[in-house]
Amino acid sequence: MKTNRDRQLKIFEIFHSLQGESHFVGLPTVFVRLTGCPLRCTWCDTEYAFFGGQWMDFDEIINEVKKHNTPYVCVTGGEPLAQKRVLPLMDELVAAGYTVSLETAGSISVADVNPAVHKVVDLKAPGSGEVNKNLYTNLALLTGHDQVKFVIADEVDYQWARDIINEHHLAQQCQVLMSPVADVLPPKVLADWILRDQLPVRFQIQLHKHLWGDTPGT
């Protein structure tokens, strides 16, 4: 029997947990983590998803999501947009009534992402080693239910992010999130910078790491 590759994705894991970031933080969520990423950020905490996983049909993926009986689905990676067939999968999840968020590194266009999907675009600061991969045309495509996330390793990263926020008027266009690199920048230091500059951002700490550490599938 011939397999319909147009309806398959390489999936590293599907799991049920609490959303650790974004404006859905704390909500029970099903995470669909795709294998692979074209970037190699210095502080990446999901390197384990660069390779491996298994091919799954859309129906298999959605059936697995249904088992967890929650309305929230987060499509993540790796870099999920590196697999182009993720776009019709998200369309089907939206059509099935799920509230869907997409976590993307921002180096691949989000132009064709279903407008109902909550896009979380992680712009890469200089400390990531991948700042040159940012696709700034993505910013004009974001709406009020989307988010831009900055992960900050030091004051150079912070000042860069502050300039990007001001230059592109991001706070007037979408939600802006800012978090410290775990075990690198003390959270209080970043919080003090944000308050000092009255920056219009939402400070966040990765909730899941405080609960379960860096264990995959949490």
Would you list which residues are annotated within the binding site for Mg(2+)? 46
Q: Which contacts (CB < 8 Å, 24+ apart) does range 65-72 have? A: 65/14, 65/30, 65/32, 65/93, 65/98, 68/16, 68/28, 68/30, 70/16, 70/28, 70/29, 70/30, 71/97, 71/98, 71/99, 72/19, 72/24, 72/27, 72/28, 72/29, 72/30, 72/98, 72/99, 72/101
The C-alpha atoms of residue 21 and residue 30 are separated, in whole angstroms, by: 14
Beta bridge partner(s), residue 73: 30, 100
| 23: Cα separation from own chain's centroid | 12
**Which residue positions form the known binding site for [4Fe-4S] cluster?**
37, 41, 44
The C-alpha atoms of residue 177 and residue 187 are separated, in whole angstroms, by: 14
**Which residue positions form the known binding site for substrate?**
18-20, 33, 76
**Which residue positions form the known binding site?**
18-20, 33, 37, 41, 43-46, 76, 78
CB atoms under 10 Å from CB of 88, counted, come to 15
Cβ atoms of residues 159 and 178 within 8 Å: no
**Which residue positions form the known binding site for S-adenosyl-L-methionine?**
43-45, 78
